C-alpha cells in the first residue's frame, strides 16, 4: 500500500522524507551509541546486514512508515510510525536524534515535524509513544509537542540490573495538535 506521505514535507528549518537505503549506515552507527540504545528496547550491536534485511522486509509493511529528518541537508534524526492502525487512525511514533547533538532542541523540532507528517500526510487521528519512566529527555520532548500522559504500565520491563520499571503511555490527538499548532 502506498501512503499519502510518500512526498517529503518541510518547515523553515527541517525536512522529513521516507527512510532510504543510503541512510542505513548512519542509522546503524547511531543505534549502536549508548546514548541511543540505553533508552530503547533492542539488542545491540545493531549490524548493517541485519538492518538492510530489516529495511527490505519493511518496504511493503503497511503497518509502519520510517522517516529521516534532515536539517540543512544533513541527517539529524530518524523516526517514524509503527503499529499503524488505519481503521482507528492511530500509530505509535518513535524518534532518535544524532547522539552527538543531544539536548540542542533537534529532538523537539524533529518530533513536531513527525507529528505534522503523521496528521497531514498519513491522515492519522492519534499519535502515541511508550517510553521508560526514567527517559526524561523523551518525555520532555514529547510533552513540548503536546503529548499527554494517558497511562502507566506498572513493572513492564526489567533493567539490565534486574530492576522492575514502569513504562508510560502518552498520546496526542489531531484536534489537540491543530489547536496547539494555531497558537
Taking the CA atoms of the chain, what radius of gyration do you get in angstroms?
16
- Asked whether 171 and 128 are in contact (CB, 8 A), the reply is yes
pLDDT in tens, 138-160: 999 999 999 999 999 999 998 88
**pLDDT score, position 47:** 93
> Per DSSP, what are the bridge partners of residue 130?
169
What is the length of the chain? Answer: 183
Report the distance separating Cα 147 and Cα 69, nearest Å.
20
Cis peptide before 45 (omega within 30 of 0): yes
Closest CA to 64 of 110, 124, 120: 124
- Asked whether 75 and 98 are in contact (CB, 8 A), the reply is yes
Residue 135 has pLDDT above 80, yes or no: yes
- Asked whether 101 and 76 are in contact (CB, 8 A), the reply is yes
What burial letters (b/e) apply to 63-95, b meaning 16+ CB within 10 Å? Answer: eebbbbbbbeeebbbbbbbeebeeeebbbbbbb
Strand ranges, E, within 3-143: 9-10, 14-18, 65-71, 74-85, 90-97, 126-132
pLDDT in tens, 6-23: 666 767 689 999 999 999
Residue owning grid cell 532510504 = 20
What pTM was computed for the model? 0.88
- Asked whether 24 and 55 are in contact (CB, 8 A), the reply is yes
Question: Would you place residue 2 in the very low, low, confident or very high pLDDT band (cuts 50, 70, 90)?
Answer: very low
Closest CA to 107 of 65, 148, 135, 88: 135
Q: Domain 4-182 belongs to what topology?
A: Aminopeptidase (3.40.630)
**pLDDT score, position 8:** 67
Closest CA to 67 of 52, 79, 53: 79
User: Domain ranges in the chain?
Assistant: 4-182
The enclosing H or E element of 13 equals none
Amino acid at each position: 500500500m502506498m501512503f499519502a506521505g510518500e512526498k517529503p514535507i518541510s518547515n523553515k528549518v527541517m525536512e522529513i522524507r521516507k527512510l532510504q537505503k543510503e541512510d542505513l549506515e548512519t542509522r546503524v552507527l547511531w543505534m549502536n551509541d549508548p546514548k541511543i540504545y540505553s533508552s530503547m528496547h533492542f539488542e545491540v550491536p545493531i549490524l548493517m546486514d541485519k538492518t538492510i534485511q530489516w529495511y527490505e522486509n519493511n518496504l511493503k509493511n503497511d503497518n509502519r512508515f520510517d522517516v529521516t529528518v534532515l536539517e540543512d541537508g544533513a541527517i539529524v534524526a530518524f523516526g517514524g510510525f509503527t503499529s499503524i492502525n488505519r481503521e482507528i487512525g492511530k500509530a505509535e511514533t518513535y524518534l532518535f536524534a544524532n547522539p552527538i547533538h543531544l539536548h540542542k532542541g533537534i529532538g523537539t523540532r524533529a518530533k513536531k515535524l513527525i507529528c505534522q507528517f503523521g496528521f497531514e500526510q498519513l491522515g492519522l487521528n492519534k499519535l502515541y509513544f511508550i517510553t521508560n519512566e526514567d527517559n526524561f529527555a523523551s518525555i520532555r520532548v514529547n510533552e513540548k509537542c503536546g503529548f499527554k500522559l494517558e497511562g502507566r504500565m506498572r513493572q513492564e520491563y526489567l533493567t539490565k540490573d534486574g530492576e522492575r520499571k514502569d513504562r508510560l503511555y502518552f498520546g496526542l490527538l489531531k484536534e489537540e495538535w491543530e489547536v496547539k499548532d494555531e497558537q
